[in-house]
A and B are shown apart, each in its own frame.
Chain A
Amino acid sequence: MSLRRFIAVRVAATVPILFGVSVLTFALVHLTPGDPIDQMVALNPQISAAEEAAIRARYGLDGPVWQQYLTWMGNVLQGDLGTVIIVDQPVLPYIMARLPETIALGLFGWAIALLIAIPTGIYAAVNKDTLGDDLSRVFALSGISLPNFWLGLMLILVFALWLDLWPVLAPDKPLLSTEMLWYLVLPGVTIGTASSATLMRVMRSSMAEEMNKEYVTAARAKGLPERTVVLKHVLRNSLISVTTIAAFLTASIFAGAVVVEQVFAWPGLGRAFVGAIIGREVDLIMAITLFTGVTIILANLLADIMYAVLDPRIRYD
């Protein structure tokens, strides 16, 4: 009941956030010179000025920016996200066709990040100030420092070209086939590495802090094996701060997807986003941005709910 209310309030709060995001994005897109029609005209110089104006009018690209925004907003409120002009296709099916690819990649990257970060973080915290801890620190620093595109290219070079363990291009198989999931490992690692480094550091420091608490000594004094002390008592307390960061990293996972999809020729939203920016596809840019915004808001909402699951002291009533 109260949790439901909490969620309702949070969902309602997304409205002003999304409104702000849309205004900002719309303004930014229009600050950049050019629109899709300019490109059409450049490709077909025989188009007359009258025809050009007619096309602009058809896509609502004439008139002042505020008017265009209001028109766009009016359409969105009626469920019409607009058109991808270059292919003359509605935005919604265009996005829906690419969404599963990006979700698969994002979840994969996220899973890999957590899979690397949590065990390494625990290891580093338990073996604080040992060689293993230092090595994990080096790994974290490198993970944060390596640019996504470079890491992706290196992985392709080493594992796809030299070692021939992975295909260079995504196989033409359904998304949930073993071949596809296998192919997703390299882009997943590329996306997950930077996030895993951040997560690992948070995991380590939060574990190390919890390890000094008296309930840990109390658990040891009960005669529990160290494994139980760490994995049962300490871990759950440490996961609270990790949850915050994990939700926060959703944004960087998506930002990573934009680059990684490009590097791995992955047909997802990230790649569509790059195309949309190059082609000044206002409606598509707006839709993907808003979609990303909703995802990040949802991830944070999920984190808030996770807090309550992890820590009984946190209740929303």
Chain B
Amino acid sequence: MALLEVEDLTVKFYTEEGVVTAVDDLSFRIKRGEKFGVVGESGAGKSVTALSVMRLIEEPGRIESGTVRFDGEDLMEMSESEVRDVRGNDIAMIFQDAQTALNPVYTVGEQIAEAIRHHLDYGDAAARDRAIRLLDDVGIPEPEARYDDYPHEFSGGMQQRVVIAMALSCDPDLLIADEPTTALDVTIEAKILDRLERLAEEYDTAIQLITHDLGVIAEMCDRVMVMYAGRAVEKATVEEMYYDPKHPYTVGLMSAIPRIGDRQDRLQTIPGTMPDLVEVPSGCSFHPRCPFAEEECTRKQPPLVDPETGEGVGLSDRAAACLAYTGDLDNELDYEVEVRGRAEQPDDGQPDPRVRRPDSEPVRTDSDPVGLDTDLLDQNDDGEDDAGGLSDG
């Protein structure tokens, strides 16, 4: 039995503009101690998924259907007070922006200790000791003195460490980290991720890592779920996603990563933006941006299937939602993964897979107002060294 099993989760927001289906029929599972990545652009439903797992969705949002089994028990069936016993205790959350996640008027120590007192029935002194130990664990120097400091007396990176300490305070089994390093600069990010990974080992905690940064996923995660417009479009191990992505959206994300040494003027982008979730495109919601889209994609919503067999997969760990795997498309998905680094720098140890896609126009449909900037693949790859090559004229 997996630690967390989310099945058929649907979350809707009843806004004035209309009903937004933020999470649509989503299923995934996280095993004990596993590091599970959730990737996607802003608005893909990653954070809503995270909040739903803790049943923290607020008005006007509503969890419409689905089960969230944690350790075999369905959180959706629990009473509010039973869920509260799980929150912070068994499942804890690390927020994106530590500055806003910390209450400005209480000391950081108090904000860590209050959960300890509440869940673990510690006395004041014992909770304080434990909180100080946690501050030490997350790498805050002089934790004893810093306990009584207020959030504004910490730097951004230190605040994020406090938030991590807060999340770890009751030794949770699952840590949901919602873009934990997005607000930080890159050097701090590396340190924090490193620390998070070590602590997860130490505390034997599973992590659901939400991010839009594929590099972070590669560094930390075992398995990945790629989300688009509230749905899972691909699930894979990190290796599979990097070396053998199956969904055109994943392919797009992969090719959008700039590489050091690339001589190209423009960053690769996926044309267009995430659709407005009030009016999701018909059929496959990615079709207006997909270079491989055909007529059928505008009509039929692709199920999440095993890309090898085309069979439905339920909670399985390898799946993609593209009609290419159900035999509904006339053409094949035409892209290749080029692994650089190995050949050129054999000692590097860090292979650099690159996904290449043909420069084709996406299928235009009525609901497609975008799709103009399709320069997907236009870099010179002749290996000629012409000092940067920012422009050739």
Given the known inter-chain contacts A312-B150, A312-B152, please indicate yes or no for A221 contacting B54, CB distance below 8 A: yes
Chain B residues 47 to 91 lying within 8 A of chain A, measured CB to CB, are 51, 54, 56, 58, 81, 84-89
B58 proximity list for chain A (CB < 8 A)? 217
A221-B104 in contact (CB<8A): no
Chain A residues 190 to 224 lying within 8 A of chain B, measured CB to CB, are 213-215, 217-224
Given the known inter-chain contacts A223-B88, A224-B114, please indicate yes or no for A218 contacting B105, CB distance below 8 A: no
A219→B95 CA distance, assembly (Å): 11
Chain A residues 287 to 317 lying within 8 A of chain B, measured CB to CB, are 310-313
Given the known inter-chain contacts A310-B105, A311-B105, please indicate yes or no for A224 contacting B100, CB distance below 8 A: no
A5 within 8 A of B: no
A223-B105 in contact (CB<8A): no
B54 proximity list for chain A (CB < 8 A)? 221
A220→B97 CA distance, assembly (Å): 16
B89-A223 in contact (CB<8A): yes
A204→B102 CA distance, assembly (Å): 22
A313-B150 in contact (CB<8A): yes
Chain A residues 224 to 279 lying within 8 A of chain B, measured CB to CB, are 224-225, 228, 233, 236-237
Judged by DSSP, the binding face of B is: mixed
Chain B residues 116 to 168 lying within 8 A of chain A, measured CB to CB, are 118-119, 150, 152, 163, 166
A178-197 interface bits toward B, Cβ cutoff 8 Å, 1 = contact, 0 = none: 00000000000000000000
B56-A221 in contact (CB<8A): yes
Q: How far is the CB of A66 from chain B (nearest CB, A)?
A: 51
B103 within 8 A of A: yes
A210 to B, closest residue via Cβ: B103
B96 to A, closest residue via Cβ: A214
Contact partner of B88 (CB less than 8 A), chosen from A213, A224, A233, is: A224
A310→B86 CA distance, assembly (Å): 31
B370 within 8 A of A: no
By the criterion of a CB under 8 Å from any partner CB, how many residues of chain B are at the interface? Answer: 31
A224-B115 in contact (CB<8A): yes
Q: How far is the CB of B82 from chain A (nearest CB, A)?
A: 11
Contact partner of A220 (CB less than 8 A), chosen from B81, B85, B87, B163, is: B87
A237 to B, closest residue via Cβ: B105
Q: How far is the CB of B62 from chain A (nearest CB, A)?
A: 16
A258→B194 CA distance, assembly (Å): 67
A147→B162 CA distance, assembly (Å): 52
B101 within 8 A of A: yes
B104 proximity list for chain A (CB < 8 A)? 215, 237, 311-313
B105-A222 in contact (CB<8A): no
Q: How far is the CB of B205 from chain A (nearest CB, A)?
A: 15
B116 to A, closest residue via Cβ: A222
A234 to B, closest residue via Cβ: B103
A221-B105 in contact (CB<8A): no
B210 proximity list for chain A (CB < 8 A)? none
B229 within 8 A of A: no
Given the known inter-chain contacts A220-B56, A311-B105, please indicate yes or no for A213 contacting B87, CB distance below 8 A: no
B253 within 8 A of A: no
A223-B115 in contact (CB<8A): yes
A186→B70 CA distance, assembly (Å): 57
Q: How far is the CB of B134 from chain A (nearest CB, A)?
A: 13
Given the known inter-chain contacts A223-B115, A223-B118, please indicate yes or no for A218 contacting B95, CB distance below 8 A: yes
B101 proximity list for chain A (CB < 8 A)? 214-215, 217-218
B103-A223 in contact (CB<8A): no
Q: How far is the CB of A215 from chain B (nearest CB, A)?
A: 4
B166-A222 in contact (CB<8A): yes
A183→B92 CA distance, assembly (Å): 54
B254 proximity list for chain A (CB < 8 A)? none
Contact partner of B95 (CB less than 8 A), chosen from A214, A224, A228, A313, is: A214
Listed A/B pairs (29) with beta-carbon separation below 8 Å: A214-B95, A215-B104, A217-B51, A217-B56, A217-B58, A217-B95, A218-B102, A218-B103, A218-B163, A220-B87, A221-B56, A221-B92, A221-B93, A222-B87, A222-B115, A222-B118, A222-B166, A222-B169, A223-B86, A223-B118, A223-B119, A224-B88, A224-B114, A236-B105, A236-B106, A237-B104, A310-B105, A312-B150, A313-B152
Kindly list the 10 A-B residue pairs having the minimum CB-CB distance in the complex, ordered from nearest. A223-B88, A223-B87, A222-B88, A214-B100, A222-B115, A312-B150, A218-B101, A215-B103, A221-B93, A223-B84
